[in-house]
Amino acid sequence: MIDAGIRPGDVVVVEKRTTVKNGDIVIAMLDNEFTLKRLQNEKGRFVLKPENKAYPTIRPMGDLEIFGVVVGQFRKYR
């Protein structure tokens, strides 16, 4: 998520929500693993877009479970 300003070692603050909107950065669960991505609407379906051009867009084939929405972050300088 480097292009969104979230770097390795940063700590994100996640708020558990039942509703999300297009463009939110979310914690999603896919195949029993958590991932941090931007939620986007593509042709009427939600996809998970990485904010790093080195990774592909995830187009879930089944259910997409959203754990929460990123509402803040911390960065250590030392």
pLDDT digits (tens, 9 = 90+) for 34-61: 999 999 999 888 999 999 999 999 998 8
> What is the pLDDT at residue 59?
94
Cα-based distances in Å from 6 to 19, 26, 60, 64, 74 = 23, 12, 23, 23, 9
Mean pLDDT in the chain? 92
Helix (H, G, I), strand (E, B) or coil at 2: helix
What pLDDT, on a 0 to 100 scale, did the predictor assign at position 63?
79
Residue 41 backbone zone (phi > 0: left; psi -120 to 50: alpha; other: beta): beta
**Domains located in the chain, CATH noted:** 2-74 (2.10.109.10)
pLDDT band of 67, cuts 50, 70, 90: very high
Average confidence (pLDDT) over 57-73: 91
